[in-house]
Structure 1
Amino acid sequence: MHNTFIVYIILVLVILFLVMLAQKIKVSYPILLVVAGLVISFIPGLPPIEIDPELIFVIFLPPLLYEAAWKTSWKELWKWRRVIASFAFLIVLLTSGVVAVASNWLIPGFTLALGFLLGGIISPPDAVSASSILQSVKVPKRLISIVEGESLLNDAASLIVFRFALVAMNKGTFAFGDAVLNFFVVIIMGILTGIVIALVFFAIHRYLPTTPHINIVLSFVAPYAMYIVAEEFHFSGVLAVVSGGLFLSVRSHLFLDHRSRIQGWNVWETISFVLNGLVFMLIGLELPVVIKDLGDVSLRTAIWYSAIISVLVIILRIACTFGASAFTVWVSRYITTADNRPGWRGPLILGWTGMRGVVSLAAALSIPVYLDNGSRFPERSLILFITFSVILVTLVLQGLTLPTVIRWVNYKDPLDTMPEEEQDAAVKKKMSQAALRVLKEQHADKLQSNSLLQSLQHRLEAEIDLLSAVPGTPGSETDSTHPEHFIPHYRQVYIELLNEQRQLLFKLNHKAEVDESIIRKYLSLLDIEEEKLFVQYDHAH
């Protein structure tokens, strides 16, 4: 146990270094972590690292899904619901079926049940790698929303297909009618389980005397409770976590105070980063162990199978995205759609974001070594090898070329009426104007005699002037007297003032009569103030 803990601490340090390197060379960090893990695994004398599937499913999966649900916009999810639903369910089912037929034809002795098992494993794209690339390249918001929304639901669909194929392998038969009925039961009851448990946590947060620390701990307990309870009743644990996470995230303003939101978000960002880093590194580290277990199948033959299936899933996803685009054009004649002319550029980018990752790894590793009758699970090692190969190929090939594809396509969303930076500045300006209006209209009597309120008025007016410097926002100008020309000096002087206040706090901290907790509080407030300054400065440029 002691040695294992040390290994994982070293892994975390290696991951941090590789992520910094990925930022330096401008490569998505999941790609570099997988490749580095593969290289490290071949170092002589390094003990083989075997991943416990329960470690991935029970420990890693619930918090990663929950964090993704909290980051997902319900507004955008609903706006693109038809596209996301078709990607999350129809494309997963189609991919699973095509992979089942192709692998049954390609691999001797590979049954359709094994094919559906493999198809269910490799059908869901991974959102972490796609999002990390899309956020580093200028791309319309709709694409990021669709990719993130799809990832929340396709994991559940693929794992349901995987579960039914596993049952068919154990029983030796597959009842299609029962499978369809169970499919909907697993989905509906999984969603309801997540919402019911979310209601319990909502009540705890809102009606009991919690603190920011208690709220954060509860937020970590929630996804595990949703997942474990749903799985205990053989419902979809993934959909339980996703639905429960969405339910709570939309209502977070009702039960979390500002400190809980700020501290909780920072903690979750860090934990999610570490968990994702560990999983992608473990993908590379595990591949040599899988190769050794191939048994009768030669490595060359396994690579050949993997290459064909990898190309198949890449082509199939692109074909499906273009098919979804064509269907949208047709169906828009009869119903209202968010965009009735999606074109070819957006679908091409979405089709190329089909990198596989965490869920495929977890599903493949969870295949039991033995069937219920005691015999060895057929072709388990080959399925693992193909899964690892598909993850590696799609991550490296599509991940490295996605920025190039995005730049080549040069996609402009026709629904984007205003750039995101201008929207951001416009919203902030309206907020300041609303606050200033309330101050002047409802508290005019206090404003005349209260110097603190007068100071607040001047500050709001200064914010409005600063945000008016952003081109495209209402009231922006270009003459030499406009605040835009004062911004660099304003920022420079303000930072000097903040630094001077920090130095004062450090000096005060040496005095015995001053409590350090107070010093730390004001240092944190200065950090927040400086961050606000940088955000405003970025808007104006």
Structure 2
Amino acid sequence: MHLIETVLLLLLAVVVSGSVARITRIALPLVQIGLGAAIVLATGTTVDLEPDIFFLLFLPPLLFLDGWRIPKEALFRDRAVILELALGLVLFTVIGLGFLIWWMIPEMPLAVAFALAAILSPTDPIAVQAIAARAPIPKRLMHILEGESLLNDATGLTCMRIAVVAATTGAFSIGSAIGSFAWLALVGVVTGVLVTMAISYAKGFVSRRWGEDVGAQILVSLLIPFAAYLVAEELHASGILAAVAAGVTMSFTERGGGIGGQSLAMTRIRRGVVWDTVQFVANGIIFVILGEQMPSILARAAEVVRGTSRPEVWWLAVYVFAIVAALAVMRFVWVWTSLKLTLFRRRHRGPPAKVGLRLTLVMSLAGVRGAITLAGILTLPFVLGDGSPMPSRNLAIFLAAGVIIVSLLVATFALPRLMKGVELPPEPSQEREEDRGRVAAASAALRAVEDASHAMAEGKTNPDLYSDVASRIMEVYRRRIETHTRTDEDDAVVARKIDAVERRLWLAGLAAEREELGRLARARQLDEVAARKMIREVDLQELRYL
């Protein structure tokens, strides 16, 4: 099958997977893996993957988006737990699991075992979200998992890179490893920050001087992670950390205008949609490719295992389940210890929250492996430095793929049940903060509307026109201030109920507007271009209430 046809088939599988997952209520990643396996069984051909190309195409945008969108305040608030999970747990996993794999499979070189353990350490919050759709994850827990994933992706992949260098060159020392890690991390982060700042500054300068092109702005945001990744790789630093740092920097430059200035509202709306699509497609294709590769991965792994001291194929399943069990036990021990220590350190701030068994189990099972693990393991080089084949490469790929599938299955059945009634330390309410923000924004809008109306009316023959229009607009803002400045708790609850009712009524009215405009267009009573423009205006209004 030609490359273009294969790509289109993979995209079709990603599209179909969403509907199948909703109909069957099976976790989306599992559906995509199954569709990938169905594709190879139907066509009889598989995709020949080039590891470096695969790594470049999928990881930078996904990690960049994680760094861009993760809530920074939540990340900072739970920084102790997140750092303990993302750094300490990764090193604990690499060392403990690496020696375990080497002990189980003596034919696998220790460096390859460490590389496999390193790539199995990152977790995938997107897979967790898909699994827990029927039992929503508490926001604070999801923020911790997102922060852990953001950092452990970079840590695990960097450790894997060091292990691969040791495997291909045959040389390893603690001093050189620490030096390599420091160079990879520091230069990678600095490169990501500088590349993003430079591009944002250039983009803002051009936009301020010659105007903003929405399509070009979106394309620039898509190219930033690849630019950061490639520049870092040219400096022999971590392109993964550069992509993460680029995403975090992008969020700060966008927050208040930053170096590059604020984007147009239309740019932000369209860019968000484009990035949502990129994330859905990239993650979906990775899981579809996993399913599509599974038959050939299994066949190659079976050939490898026949040459070991345990030649029976069923040992492959034993290895996979042993690794999954080891990962779960190590994560359980580390999570329990981490939460206990973190809460112990905070006792002086108030009574410590109870660390229950259910919470620890949820945190342990939520460490599902997914897209990052697959993308990373496929980048294992085919040959060593002397040109000989990489030993146990196919076996390592199979074990990683098996761990992904088994961890997804275990979490699919266990996580929604454990999630019910799980208790976390309370998260500070954001309602008061939102109220203050809305009041401040409305007050600023009142001043701006009043000043603008006076400026527009100056020297005009009908100044009342401007004051009347300004009064109608200002009345909306005054009502918003009145709603969000109520101090009595009962009044605040009633005000929020009024907001909810108003939201539903607005949505009903906008839906009726859109339906009527569509009817007029179909009856040729309204020009098609005008109808499209007016429907878009309705859609943009609707975004306020979604």
How high is the TM-score relative to the length of structure 2? 0.85
Match of residue 389, structure 2, among 354, 369, 376: 376
Which string of whole-angstrom CA distances, capped at 9 and with x for unpartnered residues, describes residues 64-119 of structure 1?
11112221112222222221111111111110111111112211323322221111
Structure 2: gaps (5+ residues): 306-311, 458-462
Deviation at 1:332, TM superposition (A): 3.1
Q: CA separation in 2, counterparts of 1:223 and 1:265? A: 16
* Matched residue, 1:539: none
Question: Structure 1 residues 16 and 484 mapped into 2: Cα distance closer, same or farther (>3 Å)?
Answer: closer
Larger mean CA deviation between 450-459 and 377-386 belongs to 450-459
* Counterparts of residues 181-196 of structure 1 (less than 5 Å): 181-196=179-194
Query: SS at 2:2's partner residue?
Result: helix
Q: CA separation in 1, counterparts of 2:191 and 2:504? A: 53
Answer yes or no: is 1:523 the counterpart of 2:535. Answer: yes
Answer yes or no: is 1:301 the counterpart of 2:315. Answer: yes
Query: SS at 1:49's partner residue?
Result: coil
* Matched residue, 2:308: none
* Matched residue, 1:538: none
* Matched residue, 2:249: 247
Larger mean CA deviation between 222-231 and 451-460 belongs to 451-460
Q: CA separation in 2, counterparts of 1:203 and 1:443? A: 30
Match of residue 164, structure 1, among 162, 165, 183: 162
Deviation at 1:425, TM superposition (A): 7.5
Question: Structure 1 residues 416 and 160 mapped into 2: Cα distance closer, same or farther (>3 Å)?
Answer: closer
Equivalent residues of 2:192, 2:243 under 8 A apart: yes
Answer yes or no: is 1:319 the counterpart of 2:333. Answer: yes
Question: Structure 1 residues 215 and 437 mapped into 2: Cα distance closer, same or farther (>3 Å)?
Answer: closer
Deviation at 1:23, TM superposition (A): 2.2
Answer yes or no: is 1:452 the counterpart of 2:469. Answer: yes
Q: CA separation in 1, counterparts of 2:368 and 2:538? A: 41
* Matched residue, 1:353: 366
Question: Structure 1 residues 61 and 265 mapped into 2: Cα distance closer, same or farther (>3 Å)?
Answer: same
Deviation at 1:237, TM superposition (A): 0.7
Answer yes or no: is 1:259 the counterpart of 2:272. Answer: no
> 2:426 corresponds to which letter in structure 1?
L
Query: SS at 1:299's partner residue?
Result: coil
Deviation at 1:124, TM superposition (A): 0.9
Deviation at 1:288, TM superposition (A): 1.0
* Matched residue, 1:34: 33
* Counterparts of residues 79-94 of structure 1 (less than 5 Å): 79-94=77-92
Which string of whole-angstrom CA distances, capped at 9 and with x for unpartnered residues, describes residues 162-220 of structure 1?
11111222232321111112212211111001111011111112111342111111111
Question: Structure 1 residues 110 and 36 mapped into 2: Cα distance closer, same or farther (>3 Å)?
Answer: same
* Matched residue, 1:153: 151
* Matched residue, 2:234: 232
> 1:371 corresponds to which letter in structure 2?
L
Equivalent residues of 1:131, 1:147 under 8 A apart: no
Match of residue 270, structure 1, among 274, 277, 285: 277
Query: SS at 2:537's partner residue?
Result: helix
Equivalent residues of 2:453, 2:470 under 8 A apart: no
* Matched residue, 1:389: 402
Which string of whole-angstrom CA distances, capped at 9 and with x for unpartnered residues, describes residues 48-79 of structure 1?
33322123211111111111222111222222
Equivalent residues of 2:514, 2:535 under 8 A apart: no
* Matched residue, 2:443: 434
* Matched residue, 1:364: 377
* Matched residue, 2:291: 284
Q: CA separation in 2, counterparts of 1:23 and 1:427? A: 39
Equivalent residues of 1:368, 1:377 under 8 A apart: yes
* Matched residue, 2:309: none
* Matched residue, 1:116: 114
Deviation at 1:311, TM superposition (A): 1.2
Deviation at 1:280, TM superposition (A): 0.7
How high is the TM-score relative to the length of structure 1? 0.86
* Matched residue, 1:218: 220
Q: CA separation in 2, counterparts of 1:319 and 1:108? A: 26
Q: CA separation in 1, counterparts of 2:502 and 2:404? A: 51
Deviation at 1:488, TM superposition (A): 6.3
Equivalent residues of 1:22, 1:32 under 8 A apart: yes
> 1:363 corresponds to which letter in structure 2?
G
* Matched residue, 1:416: 427
Deviation at 1:507, TM superposition (A): 6.8
Q: How many residue pairs are counted as aligned between the two chains?
A: 519
Deviation at 1:346, TM superposition (A): 3.7
> 2:355 corresponds to which letter in structure 1?
G
Question: Structure 1 residues 390 and 330 mapped into 2: Cα distance closer, same or farther (>3 Å)?
Answer: same
Q: CA separation in 2, counterparts of 1:468 and 1:25? A: 46
Deviation at 1:238, TM superposition (A): 0.8
Match of residue 345, structure 2, among 308, 314, 331: 331
Q: CA separation in 1, counterparts of 2:482 and 2:540? A: 21
* Counterparts of residues 494-513 of structure 1 (less than 5 Å): 495-497=511-513, 499-500=515-516, 503=519
Q: CA separation in 2, counterparts of 1:403 and 1:90? A: 27
Deviation at 1:464, TM superposition (A): 7.0
Deviation at 1:524, TM superposition (A): 0.9
Q: CA separation in 2, counterparts of 1:116 and 1:354? A: 19
Question: Structure 1 residues 351 and 484 mapped into 2: Cα distance closer, same or farther (>3 Å)?
Answer: closer
Deviation at 1:391, TM superposition (A): 0.8
Deviation at 1:224, TM superposition (A): 0.4
Structure 1: gaps (5+ residues): 536-541
Question: Structure 1 residues 437 and 257 mapped into 2: Cα distance closer, same or farther (>3 Å)?
Answer: closer
Q: CA separation in 1, counterparts of 2:196 and 2:164? A: 30
Question: Structure 1 residues 85 and 498 mapped into 2: Cα distance closer, same or farther (>3 Å)?
Answer: same
Equivalent residues of 2:192, 2:246 under 8 A apart: yes
Equivalent residues of 1:505, 1:519 under 8 A apart: yes
Q: CA separation in 1, counterparts of 2:326 and 2:532? A: 56
Q: CA separation in 2, counterparts of 1:487 and 1:379? A: 58
Deviation at 1:329, TM superposition (A): 3.0
Equivalent residues of 1:364, 1:387 under 8 A apart: yes
> 1:525 corresponds to which letter in structure 2?
E
Question: Structure 1 residues 462 and 496 mapped into 2: Cα distance closer, same or farther (>3 Å)?
Answer: farther
Deviation at 1:461, TM superposition (A): 5.8
Query: SS at 2:389's partner residue?
Result: coil
Q: CA separation in 1, counterparts of 2:76 and 2:245? A: 13
Deviation at 1:38, TM superposition (A): 3.0
